[in-house]
Amino acid sequence: MPGIEKLVPTLASLPRREYSDLIRQVDEQRRKAAEFDSADDWPSNAASRDEFAVWIARRHFAIDKGIVRILHLPTGAPVDEVRLLEVNALAQLPEDAPVEAVDFMPDIEGVSYSLYVADVTPRQLEEILGGRLALPDGWQLAGHQELSAAER
């Protein structure tokens, strides 16, 4: 596949009609591919906490190009709470400030889990893994699960 730097001028030089047809074809193919990805649907009310965490992670990976890793930290969390540590290589985060989690308030029919997310930079994750930077109050790294992008 040609690199983006070659692709952009090639596409830019296409006649308007040809370009519109191409975009339609590409969009159709992307949608077909997405139909095979069940994570595109809203999670059901039968989803376990771990399944819900996986769904959230896949969605976050898919929409935010800055996220490079997501860790699920279930140890010590209330049974209806998902805690995610999201490593973001693009977001400008205050590196010297304490790591804070915020309530993402998901609102999905039949799903009652709460979701707290703490964003960190790759350097902050290294500090956390090395025990030099504290997680938000009550959060524990022990037993963490690394969640993957699956489809981006």
**C-beta closer to another protein: residue 45 or 145:** 45
Q: Determine contact, residues 139/82, Cβ cutoff 8 Å.
A: no
Which positions touch another protein (CB under 8 A)? Answer: 30-31, 34-35, 40-42, 56, 59-60, 62-66, 90-94, 97-98, 100-109, 115-119, 136
Q: Which is nearer to another protein, 74 or 81 (CB)?
A: 81
Kindly report the length of the chain: 152
> Nearest approach, Cβ of 62 to another protein (angstroms)?
6
CB of 56 to another protein, least distance (A): 6
CB of 124 to another protein, least distance (A): 12
- The DSSP letter of residue 64 is -
In terms of CB distance, is 14 or 89 closer to another protein? Answer: 89
Give which of 115, 50, 112 is closest to 82, Cα–Cα. 115
Amino acid code (one letter) for 10: T
Beta bridge partners of 70: 86, 147
**AA identity, residue 127:** E
